[in-house]
A and B are shown apart, each in its own frame.
Chain A
Amino acid sequence: MASEDAALSIAPARPPLWRDAKFRGIAYQIAFVCAVAGLIAFAVHNTLGNIGRQNIATGFGFLRREAAFGIGESLIEYSPADTYARAFLVGLTNTLHVAALGTVFATILGTLMGLARLSRNWLVAKLARVYVETFRNIPLPLQLFFWWGLLNKMSPGPRQAWQILPDVFVSNRGIVYPVPFANPVYEWVGAAFCIGAVAAIGFRRWAKQRQARTGQQLPAGWVTLGLIAGLPLAVFLGFGAPLALDTPALKGFNFSGGSSMSPEFAALLIGLVIYTGTFIAEIVRAGILAVNWGQSEAAMALGLRSGQRMRLVVLPQALRVIVPPLTSQYLSLTKNSSLAVIIGFPDLVSIANTTMNQTGQAIEGIAMIMAVYLFLSLAISLAMNAYNRAVALVER
């Protein structure tokens, strides 16, 4: 700014050095960088001294050593004889697992509740509001303890398990639920779904071009539904609809069959979904309210039906408002999954914590946690920014 002022005067007399904006800028920056670097150097110096004095090992060599601790649940093969690196990998997959599922379910719950808050039905809107106001204002660690206490300590043993849905049982061993037996037909159904989806996208593109060229509309919605849902269904029925469920049944002291979720995982997932869902609900609600009512009126004046109005006019504009804060909710859900450590779910932080306690190498452990979360944050930001660009307003 000051340099522009100087440029205005016709023959700038060179100001004294301490009033020269450029010089001052450089001087400030050097001073600031020196201060920060000095602080870091001080910390590093002390750390090296302390490490030497306390005989703490350094470096990442410990990763190749035997971990010698068990992990309650894992998506990949693991035994205490494996290395610390393997244990970290287990923690990372567990974190990613709960974060991915949590993101999906929180989006669904949040969107439903956000729409419910806008419902013209008084009771629906009020119930959604009670949900949002209750769970948004209670700290997540407390909610996690609550769900964990309910699932792990208050729930009965498998013999008296609560049956919350047909063949879904809750006991202190976790939640068991039925899954279909593996059957080669399901792979064919999956393939049919993929083919249908690709065909549907191609058809919609062609129908859109055709409409632009000729003005004629095709029933794109029905064709899409037929391709995406009908094709797999036809394949499924064509093979004789082999639907055999592996239902959990009580055998001895525990359930056998079906699939199960540990109380820790279930409590973490439920807590994260319910807590994050409240924030997503408010974001969705604000996004839809942000679209000017005139837009809806204009759409009605053009003769669009209510579904078209939502899909073609309101939603594209609402998404612009919704996507950026939604990104930060996904980020905070991922970061909040680190609270798993307080209820004993073996996520990345929990395993790193055990490792740090065993090896005493706090710096390396914390550095690894930070690196992983920074990488995850960056990855989610990049993905959501790409999506945001796709829905953003195209200006001049």
Chain B
Amino acid sequence: MADIAHDVPIAAEAPPPRSTGALGWLKANLFSSLTNTILTLLCIALLVVAIPPVVRWALIDAIWHAPNGQACHGDGACWAFIGEKFRFILFGFFPVAETWRPVVVVGIFLLMIVAACDRRMWGRRLGILWLIGLCAVFALMRGGFAGMGKVETAMWSGLPLTLILAIVGMLFGFPLGVLLALGRRSRLPAVRTICIGYIELIRGVPLITLLFMASLMLPLFLPAGVTIDKLVRAQVAFILFAGAYLAEVVRGGLQAIPRGQIEAADALGLSYFQRTRLIVLPQALAMVIPPLVNTFIGIFKDTALVIIISLFDLLTTAETALTDGAWQGFYVEAYVFIGVIYWSFCFFMSRYSQLLEREFNRGRRR
């Protein structure tokens, strides 16, 4: 031990690799190892191959103004097609002279959604606001008063129709879902069995079959002479469909309520309905708000299926616009246009649900 020379300095270690600055960042995030370098180069190659043609098609070679479809066929996109058709794609067969009405309707829906996203608004105020909003939407779409011409539901089309199907489906599907979830957790066997049967039946079959049922079978179920509007039938299908999916989301929340809460409510002498309304549901529903938003995104995307029963939602109006003989062959342009609309709604809502999830978990994070 005595041989150890205390004064011999240990050779200095090399400094740690740079981790700051542009070079350091590149080294740490793109070229940290041989595999990473290869992956990075592959990705760059992919981008170099893919991006320039897309930019050339969408911007550089694109035709922005053209008198008709013939003059619009070039190497790039024909945005003139969208310019020509965007009113039809967005609002469909709604009378041209009254276009301001669906525009205002979409505006009201956007305001309603923005208001619902503001957590300070949550509560009775939001309920009243939504009720007024929905009434205004239906008054504007239907018309028939104050100088506004009456517009049959068959003419409701495009973006307003998509929004109505999704939002009304969610609004009415939600209470149905809560009741089904409570029924599924009931200790009464008959109630439980019927609720499980309903939920699993609806979730087990594709939405298409429900829409077929609504358009082909529902008329048979009703007494002779009673006919229901096609839009209402599709809306009923969406409500029944949304109810089953929302029930499973709500059940997740119900299952997460600690048993002690229910026992405490019983100890206080609350009845089943008091306990459910005052203790269980407020906690369970608050817990499942983020997955509820996700379910809403799913339902919003599913409205595109009504093309099957030829209701003119956003997707169907775009498909219809494509059949115009004067403007033929602009598939990609039309799909990109409505794709961007759908995408903006869904992306915004999914970011919002992620934000909520983070905020709700703040207390639980270390």
Q: Mark B320-333, 1 if CB is under 8 A from A, else 0.
A: 00000000010110
Say whether B338 faces chain A, with CB atoms less than 8 Å apart: yes
- Classify the interface of chain B: helix, strand, loop or mixed: helix
Q: Is the CB of A123 within 8 A of B201?
A: no
Q: Which segment of A42-50, A161-169, A173-181, A239-247 sits at the interface?
A: A42-50
| Residues of chain B at the chain A interface (Cβ within 8 Å) | 29-30, 32, 36, 39-40, 43-44, 46, 187-191, 194, 201, 203-209, 212-213, 216-217, 219-224, 262, 266, 272, 297, 301-305, 307-308, 315, 319, 329, 331-332, 335, 338-339, 342-343, 346-347, 350
Which A residues are CB-close (under 8 A) to B188? 25, 28-29, 32
Q: Is the CB of B206 within 8 A of A46?
A: no
The one of A30, A121, A338, A362 in contact with B208, judged by C-beta atoms closer than 8 angstroms, is A338
Q: Mark A332-346, 1 if CB is under 8 A from B, else 0.
A: 000110110110000
Q: Is the CB of A378 within 8 A of B204?
A: yes
The one of A46, A140, A150 in contact with B220, judged by C-beta atoms closer than 8 angstroms, is A46
Q: Is the CB of B338 within 8 A of A373?
A: no
Taken together as a complex, chains A and B put the C-alpha atoms of A119 and B29 apart, in Å, by: 10
Q: Which residue of A lies closest to B31 (CB)?
A: A121
Q: Which residue of A lies closest to B195 (CB)?
A: A32
Q: Is the CB of A149 within 8 A of B335?
A: yes
Q: Is the CB of A46 within 8 A of B201?
A: no
The one of A53, A150, A366, A374 in contact with B204, judged by C-beta atoms closer than 8 angstroms, is A374
With A122-B30, A124-B43, A362-B216 given, name 7 new contacts (CB 8 A): A50-B220, A123-B40, A335-B205, A341-B208, A353-B212, A356-B212, A366-B216
The one of B331, B346, B350 in contact with A154, judged by C-beta atoms closer than 8 angstroms, is B331
Q: Is the CB of B206 within 8 A of A338?
A: yes
Known: A25-B188, A123-B44. A153 touches B331 (CB 8 A): yes
Q: Is the CB of B350 within 8 A of A137?
A: yes
Which A residues are CB-close (under 8 A) to B223? 46, 49
Report A114 CB to chain B, min CB distance, Å: 16
Q: Is the CB of B220 within 8 A of A120?
A: no
Taken together as a complex, chains A and B put the C-alpha atoms of A139 and B222 apart, in Å, by: 33
Q: Which residue of A lies closest to B305 (CB)?
A: A141
Q: Is the CB of B347 within 8 A of A373?
A: no
The one of B190, B331, B339, B342 in contact with A29, judged by C-beta atoms closer than 8 angstroms, is B190
Report B67 CB to chain A, min CB distance, Å: 23
Which A residues are CB-close (under 8 A) to B303? 139
Which B residues are CB-close (under 8 A) to A335? 205-207
Which A residues are CB-close (under 8 A) to B335? 142, 145-146, 149
**A326-371 CB contacts (< 8 Å) to partner B:** 335-336, 338-339, 341-342, 349, 353, 356, 362-363, 366, 369-370
Q: Is the CB of B206 within 8 A of A336?
A: yes
Say whether A198 faces chain B, with CB atoms less than 8 Å apart: no
Report B180 CB to chain A, min CB distance, Å: 12
Which B residues are CB-close (under 8 A) to A395? none
Which B residues are CB-close (under 8 A) to A370? 201, 204-205, 209
In order of increasing CB-CB distance, the 10 nearest A-B pairs are A137-B346, A149-B331, A122-B29, A139-B304, A362-B216, A29-B190, A139-B301, A335-B206, A43-B221, A338-B206
The one of B36, B191, B201, B331 in contact with A121, judged by C-beta atoms closer than 8 angstroms, is B36
Taken together as a complex, chains A and B put the C-alpha atoms of A374 and B346 apart, in Å, by: 29
Known: A120-B32, A138-B342, A145-B319. A338 touches B304 (CB 8 A): no
Taken together as a complex, chains A and B put the C-alpha atoms of A377 and B189 apart, in Å, by: 24
Which B residues are CB-close (under 8 A) to A297? none
Q: Which residue of B lies closest to A45 (CB)?
A: B223
Which B residues are CB-close (under 8 A) to A121? 29-30, 32, 36, 39-40, 43
Report A282 CB to chain B, min CB distance, Å: 10
Say whether A191 faces chain B, with CB atoms less than 8 Å apart: no
Q: Is the CB of A137 within 8 A of B343?
A: yes
Q: Which residue of B lies closest to A119 (CB)?
A: B39
Q: Which residue of A lies closest to B266 (CB)?
A: A1
The one of B203, B212, B272, B339 in contact with A366, judged by C-beta atoms closer than 8 angstroms, is B212
Q: Is the CB of A120 within 8 A of B29?
A: yes
Which A residues are CB-close (under 8 A) to B331? 145-146, 149-150, 153-154
Which A residues are CB-close (under 8 A) to B203? 377
Say whether A5 faces chain B, with CB atoms less than 8 Å apart: yes
Q: Which residue of A lies closest to B348 (CB)?
A: A137
Which A residues are CB-close (under 8 A) to B346? 136-138
Q: Is the CB of A377 within 8 A of B220?
A: no
Taken together as a complex, chains A and B put the C-alpha atoms of A30 and B331 apart, in Å, by: 56
Q: Is the CB of B347 within 8 A of A133?
A: yes
Say whether A33 faces chain B, with CB atoms less than 8 Å apart: yes
Taken together as a complex, chains A and B put the C-alpha atoms of A30 and B191 apart, in Å, by: 9
Say whether A160 faces chain B, with CB atoms less than 8 Å apart: no
Taken together as a complex, chains A and B put the C-alpha atoms of A302 and B221 apart, in Å, by: 67
